[in-house]
Amino acid sequence: QMCIRDRYQRRVRGVKMTDPKKVLSYKPDPVPVSYNKRDLILYALGTGATELKFVYEGDSEFSSLPTYSTVLSFKGNSSDVVPFGSNFSFIPGIEINPAMIVHGEQETEVLSYPIPLEGQFINETKPVALYDKGSGAVLIQETLTLDAKTRKPLFRNVGSTFIRGAGGFGGDRGPSVANENAPPKRSPDKIHEEKTQANQAVLYRLSGDYNPLHIDPSFAESVGFPAPILHGLCTYGFAARAVLKHWCDNDVERFKSIKVRFSSPFLPGETIVTKMWKVSEDKIVFEASSKERNKVVISNAVCQIKSSTSKL
């Protein structure tokens, strides 16, 4: 638990104490979001797709990539540039400075098929857990995306965010997940290599995440990075496409869910190496790394898929 000295120092610095009861009882209003076919194509290009079914609206099998819903919380209803942080909902009981957050984990689940190619939707987001890591806090939020008219659930996203400076409130440290979805101790069943472009982050940000960390060298340096890094959710999209291609034959309706941990930054222009292990009929464990630096950037990762013979 936090000692008296730490509490005193936070008061001296003018930092408000995190109040887990206020955080977890908060129920924000639903947020309208929308997208169209152009948005789907732009996201596909931003995550490296070249297949016609993902980048050409005239293709007979034109489809949304299964991870597209991750950008809706950033994009909202806008088709213009969205100033980073402007769409961050205020959460009572915790101070969140967009420059002080690190995306730790992400999970995306497709709840209904076929995935709509355009429309009006609603995002319902709620905090589901808050853990005290001492130097910071880990906030886990769940977002359900529903059809605006029918309220049919379409996607479920769960994001884990480390908030520097928000810890030390004496709360639970949270479960240990160090070995969750660890790869088997054998050679991968499949390996996918794909080189990103030097301007990959510049392209990906047009889907809604305009964090200057990914484009502005001076901003990146101010928060401890030597250069702008690639969005974690862009790397996420690349890795998801690798699984989709090698295990689902690019059939989106066979892709059920994905869950990963972001373990290290990835630099635009590097090569993403995705190693994949099939551990059961419907479960693919994988990890992604930078080929140039031999550094794992996505770990403890898993995709749930549907076999080609299962009924959809």
Which residues are known catalytic residues? 209, 214, 229, 232
Return d(Cα 62, Cα 40) in angstroms, integer. Answer: 10
Radius of gyration of the chain (CA): 20
Backbone angles phi, psi at 146, to 5 degrees: -120, 150
**Burial letters for 2-36: b for 16+ Cβ neighbours within 10 Å, e otherwise?**
eeeeeeeebeeeeeeebebeebeebeeeebebbbe
Beta bridge partners of 272: 194, 290
Return d(Cα 200, Cα 296) in angstroms, integer. Answer: 19
Alpha carbon 216 to its chain centroid, in Å, reads 21
3-state secondary structure of 90: coil
Query: What pairing do the DSSP bridges indicate for beta strands 153-164 and 136-147?
Result: antiparallel
